[in-house]
Amino acid sequence: MTTARRAADATPLITETDLPPAAHFVDGAFAGASGDGVIDVVDPCTEKVIARVPAGTSQDVDRAVAAAAAAKEQWARRVPRERSEVLHAIADRLAENSEPLARLESANTGKPLAVSRDDVGQAVDTFRFMAGAVRATTSLAAGDYAEDHLSVILREPLGVIGVVTPWNYPLLMAAWKIAPILAAGNTLVLKPSEQTPLTTLKFAELVADLLPAGVLNVVNGYGPVVGARLAEHPDIDMIALTGSVNSGRAVARTAAESLKRVHLELGGKAPVVVFPDADLTAAAQALRVAGFWNSGQECGAACRVLVHESVAEQFVEQLVGEVKTLVVGEPAAGEKVEVGPMVSKAHFDRVTGYLERAQKEGIRAATGGGALDGPGYFIAPTVLVDVPEGAEAARQEIFGPVITVETFTEEDEAVRRANDVPFGLSASVWTENARRSHAVAARLDFGTVWVNSHLVLASEVPWGGFKGSGYGRDLSIYALDDYSRTKHVMHHHGR
């Protein structure tokens, strides 16, 4: 029976002095809030309040937007080399502080330290990649495309970007936005998730002396107040949100009023299509990580297996064998911990609700299936089998440590069913057959498709979805494109 490992001694991950200032970061300084509302920040392992941050208001947003607007011209005028140097300095600063940042992230989210350390490492790499990429942008060659008219394509920043980030990778999702936004010459106002603001505030504290005042601003608060004002603000040129489909819809609807650009990275429900010729051992081992990384609170998680009926029994046995070995616990319980708690009570209730309803429908948990003893919002790593086509657990984003297994008979059926979800973020195909590895990948309606792998990302390659998973790309030069605009300047040089 799985239990959650607890920290053996009372050494906490962080102390008071590791916390960032509990304030908004506006115009280069931490400042008081306009209202007196506060938000409790909770450690999901202990259910105790570890910090309190101000709940921002529209006035706080307006002040931050004014600062970002005032700073935009000067920042945009810096040549790529200068912006690149600042981004490298930010990367260095993050790298120097990687251990305190990882511990702070784990204290706020309950993530195993291995996950938090990986997050910080990837955040550093995102800044380094964008620092390099912005110095090597390409576009159509300047030339005469109409007689006696020289065309030059300029790439310009958009201006002020509003950013809203989620709780599952607080620092990393902030880095995925901040790095390309700054590299492309924009300024920004970022609202972290009200549940996980600590590493974003720490980031602002760490890099405050590296950026001109107003270039980066952080306003804490709730989505329907601070996020909604960012989406609505007339001086914001684009709103970028990583979060749920509902929040994406709300932001896009509001943004439509001012016709500002919208960049959305939303939910996922990644199918894992396993053909009979696949290396089943490799697939099961990969899913042990890709299904449960960040406790399954991962938009690209390998959460929905579609396995050919002829190998289903063998595959499920191997998968369950792997999942049973996962070590669940508090991050402070040691390096071996691989799966932490759900981030909040509300999310814990959501995930356990899916598990209860699935089991009521006759779906069987081959391992796991429910909550672990508290305190903390721990759920046992779960594999649900005998899942019928169309079941809620296989169509909706559970966002927890849960893999569902369905079976299929024909290749066409596998493709149809894999695509039959409202999301289109990522998927994987497992086969040793060369034709199938391309043909099936090409027919899957997802922004990333892995072949014989799952959840491997790199700063050079784009990340983003289709359909209900939103539009716009994080990482890669495509993010730089998204956060800038092309201008065509045409010179008539005939006489």
Catalytic residues: 265, 299
Tokens of 409: 């008979």
Please tell me whether residue 247 binds ligand NAD under the rule CB under 6 A. yes
Nearer to ligand NAD, 299 or 316 (CB): 299
CA distance 26 to 394: 43
Nearer to ligand NAD, 243 or 341 (CB): 243
Residue of 261, 255, 249, 315 lying closest to 288 (CA atoms) = 315
Out of 197, 243, 369, 401, name the contact with ligand NAD by CB under 6 A. 243
Q: Which stretch binds ligand NAD (CB under 6 A): 45-53, 116-124, 265-273, 403-411?
A: 265-273
Residue of 304, 310, 236 lying closest to 270 (CA atoms) = 304
Q: What is the dihedral of CA 433, 436, 442, 445, to 10 degrees?
A: -110
**432-461: contacts with ligand NAD (CB under 6 A):** none
Tokens of 424: 């289109």
Out of 15, 85, 224, 310, name the contact with ligand NAD by CB under 6 A. 224
**289-308: contacts with ligand NAD (CB under 6 A):** 299
- Count of residues that bind ligand NAD according to CB under 6 A: 33
Out of 107, 228, 240, 394, name the contact with ligand NAD by CB under 6 A. 228
12 CB-contact burial (10 Å; exposed 0-12 / middle 13-18 / buried 19+): middle
Q: Are 293 and 326 in contact (CB under 8 A)?
A: no
Nearest-approach distance from CB 267 to ligand NAD, in angstroms: 3
Those residues with Cβ within 8 angstroms of residue 322's Cβ, 6 or more apart along the chain or in another chain: 284, 285, 287, 288
Out of 174, 181, 250, 320, name the contact with ligand NAD by CB under 6 A. 250
Nearer to ligand NAD, 193 or 295 (CB): 193
Tokens of 184: 């492309």
Nearer to ligand NAD, 131 or 190 (CB): 190
CA distance 135 to 424: 32
Out of 58, 122, 193, 367, name the contact with ligand NAD by CB under 6 A. 193
3 state DSSP class of 436: helix
Q: Which stretch binds ligand NAD (CB under 6 A): 263-271, 317-325, 362-370, 431-439?
A: 263-271
Nearest-approach distance from CB 462 to ligand NAD, in angstroms: 11
CA distance 66 to 68: 5
Nearer to ligand NAD, 297 or 318 (CB): 297
Nearest-approach distance from CB 386 to ligand NAD, in angstroms: 26
Please tell me whether residue 191 binds ligand NAD under the rule CB under 6 A. yes
Please tell me whether residue 341 binds ligand NAD under the rule CB under 6 A. no
Please tell me whether residue 268 binds ligand NAD under the rule CB under 6 A. yes
Q: Which stretch binds ligand NAD (CB under 6 A): 121-129, 132-140, 221-229, 381-389?
A: 221-229
Residue of 230, 264, 258, 229 lying closest to 245 (CA atoms) = 264
Nearer to ligand NAD, 125 or 322 (CB): 125
Out of 19, 124, 380, 425, name the contact with ligand NAD by CB under 6 A. 425
3 state DSSP class of 392: helix
Nearer to ligand NAD, 84 or 469 (CB): 469
Nearest-approach distance from CB 45 to ligand NAD, in angstroms: 19
195 CB-contact burial (10 Å; exposed 0-12 / middle 13-18 / buried 19+): buried
Nearest-approach distance from CB 224 to ligand NAD, in angstroms: 5
Nearer to ligand NAD, 382 or 426 (CB): 426
Nearer to ligand NAD, 86 or 343 (CB): 343
Nearest-approach distance from CB 464 to ligand NAD, in angstroms: 7
CA distance 276 to 142: 52
Q: What are phi and psi of 78, to 5 degrees?
A: -65, 135
Q: Which stretch binds ligand NAD (CB under 6 A): 59-67, 206-214, 246-254, 432-440?
A: 246-254
Place of tokens 């607007």: 69
CA distance 412 to 418: 10
**157-176: contacts with ligand NAD (CB under 6 A):** 164-169, 173
Please tell me whether residue 242 binds ligand NAD under the rule CB under 6 A. yes
Residues in the chain: 495
396-415 footprint of ligand NAD as x/- string (CB under 6 A): -x-x----------------
347 CB-contact burial (10 Å; exposed 0-12 / middle 13-18 / buried 19+): buried
118-147 footprint of ligand NAD as x/- string (CB under 6 A): ------------------------------
Please tell me whether residue 258 binds ligand NAD under the rule CB under 6 A. no
C-alpha distance from residue 307 to each of 79, 227, 358, 399 (Å): 52, 40, 19, 21
CA distance 474 to 145: 32
| 84-111 CB burial, b ≥16 within 10 A, e <16 | bebbbbbbebbbebbebbbbbbbbbbbb
Please tell me whether residue 223 binds ligand NAD under the rule CB under 6 A. yes
Question: Number of helices (H) and strands (E), helices first, in the chain?
Answer: 15, 21
Give the 3-state DSSP-derived string for 23-36, with helices as H, strands as E and coil as C.
Answer: CEEECCEEECCCCC
Residue ranges that bind ligand NAD, judged by CB under 6 A: 164-169, 173, 191, 193-194, 222-224, 227-228, 231, 241-244, 247, 250-251, 265-268, 299, 397, 399, 425, 465, 469
